[in-house]
Structure 1
Amino acid sequence: MNSKVIKNNFNVAVALYRPEIPANTGNIGRLCVGLNIELHIVSKPSFIISSKEVRRAGLDYWEHLVLIKHENENTFLEYCNNNGRRIIPITKFGKNRYDEFNYSNNDILLFGRESTGLRESLWENDLENSVYVPMSDNIRSINLSNTAAIVAYEAYRHICLS
């Protein structure tokens, strides 16, 4: 198996709930292009998606991004239900450590806002599938784009390299 090229059978996606920092969204967009996966934006972000800051972080890869925008959390949940997508909430209050979780194709890794995380209504009914990345008590959270990279590549390793 050539582990230098992303396999076409990797069908996990990343979703951001109302992102606030353009550079994080741009970096995550670049991550999604690198993994050849979709980026979903749930509800309105705190900035204009086409802004210079987002494009700067995504560099010249932004045109290759498969970006799907959802008007609100209900349309996102409906999309997931209609397309057989399992939502994996990523939160510091998650039940499963990111490297011990059983990822599968069609999962959508759902990340919350940089300042407040995920609203409980987005994940409280699916706590069994929630994931966390361990960290010390010295920080409130790990940077969103770093966390997305950690979890997305673990899902890739789990699905495609195991």
Structure 2
Amino acid sequence: MNKSSFFIVGQHAVIEALRNPKRKVLRVFLTEESKKNIHRKNPNKNVLEDVKVYFKSKKELDKYTSKEQLMHNGYVAEIEHLDQPDLKRFIKGKNNLTFVCLDEVTDPRNIGSLIRSAASFDIDGLIIKERHFPRNSKLMYKSASGCMEHMNIFQVSNINSTLKNLREKNFWVYGFDAKGQKDFTDIKWEGNNILLFGSEGSGMRQHTGKYTDFFVKININEDIESLNISNSAAIVFHHLSYIKKNS
């Protein structure tokens, strides 16, 4: 069965896609300088082998990014989607897993930035509602800066039923909310955990909150209303990574 293809732009997004043996790259559009840079960054392997390469001027490549007003930096690629990992199969026989789950978060820039942080701090996967995941977004791929190739992304049809099933399999669900009773740094963070973040505008849905075991918060300056979701997530991911490495 043929997979649908789409375009991504930007140096890190394109180079990491080329490096990923699981990613099918159909075509690459490069400037002469960006081709040289790819070879400089990959001295031991020709990542452009078996890939159709077309050389274009920066102005010619602008047509791929003008609508989104993105910088392509001389890199555009047409790629296919990766095979979707199966959540039930992934967790089987594993312990001490940490997933991030997004409820009603739809902004491609925020999702991409969050994926970049999650991959950087060894989060095991992202759980997101299928119809809210901007799977073909150039902005998301560029914001993720190549980390789309390093993150397990579990697209599910229903967040609530997914949380319910995971709780039955010994996962603890921590909802991040400004009104949470405990600061997240006071948690021991043992076992299997899910870090649940709601949308910036309306926050976590009340019904989804019923599938949350604990509500926790990030203590910030009282004069500041809130943090951007990707910034909040990066703080949490770094803390958990530090605990894991020093436990």
TM (norm. structure 1) is: 0.82
Partner residue of 2:194? Answer: 108
Matches of 2:217 and 2:160 in 1, distance apart?
24
- How many corresponding residue pairs? 153
1:60-99 counterparts in 2 under 5 A? 60-99=146-185
Structure 1's consecutive aligned runs of 4 or more residues displaced over 6 angstroms after TM superposition are: none
Relative contact order, higher structure (CA 8 A, sep 6+)? 1
Greater fraction of residues in strand: 2
Structure of larger gyration radius: 2
1:122 deviates by 2.0
Partner residue of 1:3? Answer: none
Partner residue of 2:240? Answer: 155
Deviations 1:12-46 (A, max 9, x none): 1111112132111001111222223201114632x
Partner residue of 2:216? Answer: 131
- The answer as to whether partners of 1:114 and 1:144 remain within 8 angstroms in 2 is yes
Q: 1:40 to 1:107 in 2, by over 3 A?
A: same
Partner residue of 1:39? Answer: 126
Matches of 1:140 and 1:116 in 2, distance apart?
14
TM (norm. structure 2) is: 0.56
- The answer as to whether partners of 2:103 and 2:128 remain within 8 angstroms in 1 is yes
1:86 deviates by 1.1
Where does structure 1 lack aligned partners over 5 or more consecutive residues? 1-8
Q: Indicate the percent of aligned positions where both proteins have the same amino acid.
A: 25
Matches of 1:150 and 1:89 in 2, distance apart?
15
Partner residue of 1:146? Answer: 231
Two-structure CA RMSD over aligned residues (Å) = 2.3
1:60 deviates by 1.8
SS in 1 for 2:145: helix
Q: 1:14 to 1:20 in 2, by over 3 A?
A: same
Matches of 1:50 and 1:122 in 2, distance apart?
27
**Greater Cα shift, 116-125 or 47-56:** 116-125
- The answer as to whether partners of 1:109 and 1:152 remain within 8 angstroms in 2 is no
SS in 2 for 1:130: strand
Deviations 1:55-108 (A, max 9, x none): 010122212210011212333223313432211111101111021112123101
Q: 1:72 to 1:126 in 2, by over 3 A?
A: closer
Letter of the aligned partner of 2:125 in structure 1? E
Matches of 1:16 and 1:125 in 2, distance apart?
13
Matches of 2:232 and 2:130 in 1, distance apart?
20
Where does structure 2 lack aligned partners over 5 or more consecutive residues? 1-94
1:10-29 counterparts in 2 under 5 A? 11-29=97-115
